[in-house]
Amino acid sequence: MTRPVYVPFEERTGDESIVYFTRELSPAGISKIYRRVNANLQGKIAVKLHTGEPHGPNIIPASWVKEFLANDIPDGTIVETNTYYTGDRYTTEQHRKTLEVNGWNFTTVDIMDEDGTEMIPVTNGKWFTEMSVGDHMKNYDSLLALTHFKGHTMGGFGGSNKNLGIGCADGRIGKKMIHAHEGEDDMWGVTEDELMEKISESTKATVDHFGSHISFINVMRNMSVSCDCEGVEAQPVVTPNVGIVASLDILAVDQASIDLIYAMCEEDHHDLVERIETRHGLRQLSYMKELGMGNDRYTLIDIDHDDAVITAAKAVEGVKPFKLI
């Protein structure tokens, strides 16, 4: 199968969305950019993020999220689902212990598949007509995808698409639908383009469920080529920290994140680009566009400098070699 290729911005077609950008990697930075994309969030708000394996070094720090929620979404609820693989988040009991280890005990985290699952429709998919998600999803009016952007062992990269497509699918049914071929023993048999497409269709089910009441933030720090699901076994980070991007358009926010990576010099982005391309990760973007999930063209707004319109190259100008923060 031929690998998907990176399409430069000037070669893309279609409408443009708005993507906001800040270099400020801190709780205040999350708050600042959240306020640009929060007008559509109302009622009971779910905050979907990756709470991590025990002692995972690269997740968005729980202390950052605690401060952000206290200031901006005091009634918001962090939501998760159990894992497909056996380990420290496989059962709800194990998952709750891991949440405590990682510092998420400042709030109640809703493990959405704790009490069961629910099928929600996938419109215009070629693999699915419905997707199994945690039953508790129905309890929320709005959703904020607060995503740690990074590489991924199977997906190439993990942005908002992966956060929702895998992260909202329940641990036993939904994730198996995505990762395994029906009737086969290999629990990880789905790979490359098919995996990217199935993740995206799962995401579309969640995005369509919330309609206009959904927003997306990607935090581009501690970007290992490994997912946060690898915990302390994650590969060392070598990609420079960038900042935070946010949008009401899931394709635009993930595309902008990829563009920021590709705009770096070869030395800075080599490892992450190699991971993205060898796993066919760019198919996430092209398939989201085919599904009508958003635009891969966008206007990048620098909220650090009076809302100046900038390019991805300008945004990563002068990024420093990685340093743990």
Query: What would the pLDDT profile of 167-199 be if each residue is shown by its tens digit?
Result: 999 999 999 999 999 999 999 999 999 999 999
User: Looking at the domain assignment, is residue 323 inside a domain?
Assistant: no
Cα 133 to Cα 92, 152, 229, 279, distances in angstroms: 15, 21, 19, 25
User: Looking at the domain assignment, is residue 325 inside a domain?
Assistant: no
Residue 163 — pLDDT band, cuts 50, 70, 90? very high
Q: What is the pLDDT of residue 218?
A: 98
Query: What would the pLDDT profile of 136-153 be if each residue is shown by its tens digit?
Result: 999 999 999 999 999 999
User: Looking at the domain assignment, is residue 324 inside a domain?
Assistant: no
Q: In the chain, pLDDT over 90 holds for what percent of residues?
A: 94
| pTM of this prediction exceeds 0.85 | yes
Q: What is the pLDDT of residue 231?
A: 79
Q: What is the pLDDT of residue 109?
A: 98
User: Looking at the domain assignment, is residue 172 inside a domain?
Assistant: yes
Torsion, CA 31, CA 248, CA 119, CA 60, rounded to 10: -30
Query: What would the pLDDT profile of 7-53 be if each residue is shown by its tens digit?
Result: 999 999 999 999 999 999 999 999 999 999 999 999 999 999 999 99
- pLDDT of 227 strictly over 90: no
Find the mean pLDDT for residues 234-242: 94
* Domain housing 146: 9-315
Find the mean pLDDT for residues 253-275: 97
Bridge-based pairing state of the strands 117-121 and 130-134: antiparallel
User: Looking at the domain assignment, is residue 4 inside a domain?
Assistant: no
- pLDDT of 306 strictly over 80: yes
User: Looking at the domain assignment, is residue 3 inside a domain?
Assistant: no
Q: In the chain, pLDDT over 70 holds for what percent of residues?
A: 99
What the block records as the tokens of 125 is: 């998919």
User: Looking at the domain assignment, is residue 322 inside a domain?
Assistant: no
Q: How does the average pLDDT of the chain come out, rounded? A: 96
Find the mean pLDDT for residues 57-68: 97
Q: What is the pLDDT of residue 230?
A: 75
Q: What is the pLDDT of residue 233?
A: 82
Bridge-based pairing state of the strands 110-111 and 77-80: parallel
- pLDDT of 156 strictly over 90: yes
Q: How far apart are CA 262 and CA 82, in angstroms?
A: 33
Domains identified in the chain, total number:
1
Q: What is the pLDDT of residue 325?
A: 60
Cα 29 to Cα 43, 64, 217, 313, distances in angstroms: 24, 10, 11, 20
User: Looking at the domain assignment, is residue 232 inside a domain?
Assistant: yes
Residue 324 — pLDDT band, cuts 50, 70, 90? low
Find the mean pLDDT for residues 218-245: 92
CATH of residue 30: 3.40.50
